[in-house]
Amino acid sequence: MKTGIIAVVAAAALACAANAFAQAWPAKPVKLVVPFPAGSATDQVARLTGQQLQEALGQPFVVENKPGAQGSIAAAEVAKSAPDGYTLLVTTNTPQAANVSLFKKLPYDPVKDFSPVVRLGTTSFVLMVKPDFPAKTLKEFIAQVKSQAGKYSSGYGSSGSQVSASMLKSMAGLDFVEAPYKGIPQAVTDVIGGSLTFTFVDLGNALGQLRGGKLKALGVTSAARSTAAPDIPAIAETLHGYELIAWFALMAPAGTPKDVVAKLHDAAVKGLAKPETKERFAGIGTDVAPMNPEQLGAFIKAEIAKWAKLTKEAGIQPE
């Protein structure tokens, strides 16, 4: 009986300690690990989200970029971090879903090693080339690439950009070289410089390149034209059935106290609901699209299956 009483008391003490910790959190700066380079769409989403969380929770939310291996380096680091709410991952469909099919082995489990917090938003990609490329439409682009099989090249810095290019190759019957990058901004730089022919750029960065006149857009990967760029045709207008949407989410290491996850979720959702926040997200080509932890967990499992299908149909072999 004494042993049972001691066990009950110990459990109650642990519960009280956990509750006290959750109430005190955050008591110091929180790190937001981003799996892609500075200037990427994920980086921009992380900085907007961090600002909202900082205002709501009273501690700095510091962005730390850890690009490489399609986001696997950053995801593995967060997965192995202490589940105390002070190291979080601003992730995308790449580390959390597509990488399961893009790599033969991952240094983390995208489901078991994380506690879902909140989905933040969705975006699409844009097929972009230099302004002097000899094609003004997607149909002309396809004809041009077909006329010089194997000559042109595409660079990718995420699963979204990689699968977008591979789907184009498969559905249009094209032959071009594909090159991996640590992030989309580097691929954009090489397209501008002329060492790459084209790349698929997240909508937010694509809009910036269009305004600057450095690149031109030939098609957007969403099923229909984007309200943020209605003049850019959907690739599906030429290639029926073509569609790819990317998303952003906030994740914590598995085992993070539920009260901490709830605090993060509630603060993020309140921030996302502000008109000015929606406007700023729209400015980087992202639609606010929150999900709660339970919804996000189920969504990620469904996305893993979806991206497995996409990568298979695109003819991508795991590395």
Q: From CA 9, how far away is CA 3, in angstroms rounded?
A: 10
pLDDT in tens, 230-273: 999 999 999 999 999 999 999 999 999 999 999 999 999 999 99
- Would you place residue 17 in the very low, low, confident or very high pLDDT band (cuts 50, 70, 90)? very low
pLDDT reading at 58 higher than 50: yes
- Would you place residue 227 in the very low, low, confident or very high pLDDT band (cuts 50, 70, 90)? confident
Contacts of 112 (CB under 8 A, 6+ apart): 254
Round the average pLDDT of the chain to a whole number and report it: 92
pLDDT of residue 21: 52
Helix (H) or strand (E) holding 184: helix 184-193
Percent of the chain with pLDDT over 70: 93
CATH code reported for the domain at 29-122+246-313: 3.40.190.150
Contacts of 310 (CB under 8 A, 6+ apart): 98, 163, 167, 244
Across residues 131-147, what is the average pLDDT?
96
pLDDT reading at 19 higher than 60: no
Domain boundaries, the chain: 29-122+246-313, 125-237
- C-alpha to C-alpha distances, 115 to 96, 99, 319, nearest whole angstrom: 12, 18, 27
pLDDT of residue 79: 98
Q: Running DSSP on this structure, what letter comes out for residue 179?
A: E
- Would you place residue 9 in the very low, low, confident or very high pLDDT band (cuts 50, 70, 90)? very low
Fold equal for 29-122+246-313 and 125-237: yes
pLDDT of residue 12: 45
Residue indicated by tokens 């957007």: 220
pLDDT reading at 218 higher than 80: yes
Class of domain 125-237: alpha beta
Across residues 99-103, what is the average pLDDT?
94
